Amino acid sequence: MTAIVPEAIDFPAPLTRAQAGDHDAFAEIIEQHEDMVYSLAYHFFGDRSRSEELAQDVFLQLYRNLGTIESDSHLLFWLRQVTTRRCIDLARRSRLKAVPLEDVELRAVEKHADPLLDRRLKQLVEELPEVQKAVVTLRYQEDLDPSEICRIVGMPVNTVKSHLHRALQSLRRKLEKHS
């Protein structure tokens, strides 16, 4: 037997209450999505403080646009899209310097296990061009298909596939070069 509860899925209580001005409900929404928003930024910049600031900005923007959110799935899509686009914009504006310690940590990677390998991979992702970085993060952090990613970044699906392919090639090449 399958229970279908369309209203509970499409329009959950916190969103409705938040739209009516309930701050506790908005806090619930933040808590539900903060890891996703913060992590998209963190994997983009590798900088906790900048990611916190960007994530706060996203939720502030959400607060001001709550009335335009139609459903829970729309909310998730909206947050992913706004966060990703803000990351790309900010990176393009400031052309942030990724880098420093990668070589030092590489040495450690060879001796130690996963945490440092993860760190190395994160750094390599941070060094990718903005759009490739966004596509890879959405693919692997959010587990999205190219067909979903293309709606978020506003590109044809084949362009997304091509960015993903080039990014993975580049990551493989850099990892093999150092191994």
Partner 1 sequence: MRNWILVFALTLAAAIPAAAQPINLDFPGLADRAEEVVDITLDASLLRVAAKFLSGKDADERAVRDMIHGLRGIYVRSYEFAREGEYDRALVDRVKTQLGASWKPLVTVRSKKKENVNIYANMRGEDIIGLVIISAEPREFTVINIDGPVDIERLSSLEGQFGIPNLSKEGSDD
Partner 2 sequence: MNLDNDLKRALRRESPAPGFAGRVLERIERAEETRRKPAWWRAAAASVTLAALLGGYATHKVAEHRRGERAKEQVLAAMRIAGEKVRIAQDEVRAIGSHD
Q: Which residues are near partner 2 by CB under 8 A?
A: 23, 26-27, 30-31, 34-36, 38-39, 42-43, 48, 51-52, 55-56, 59-60, 63, 100-101, 103-104, 106-107, 114, 117-119, 121-122, 125, 136-137, 139-141, 143, 168, 171-172, 175, 179
CB-CB contact of 124 with 101 (8 Å): no
Q: Which does 55 bind (CB under 5 to 8 A by kind): partner 1, partner 2, none?
A: partner 2
Length of the chain (residues):
179
Q: Contacts with partner 1 in 46-85 (CB under 8 A)?
A: 46-50
Residues 6+ apart with CB under 8 A from 85: 153
Residue 112: name its binding partner from partner 1, partner 2, none (Cβ under 5 to 8 Å by kind). partner 1
Single out the residue of 1, 4, 20, 104 in contact with partner 1 (rule: CB under 8 A). Answer: 104
Task: Indicate whether 115 belongs to the interface with partner 1 (CB under 8 A).
Answer: yes
In the list partner 2, partner 1, none, the entry touching 86 (Cβ below 5 to 8 angstroms by class) is: none
From the list partner 2, partner 1, none, partner contacted by residue 97 (C-beta under 5 to 8 A by kind): partner 1
Positions that interact with partner 1 (CB under 8 A) = 46-50, 97, 99-101, 104-105, 107-108, 112, 115, 118-119, 123
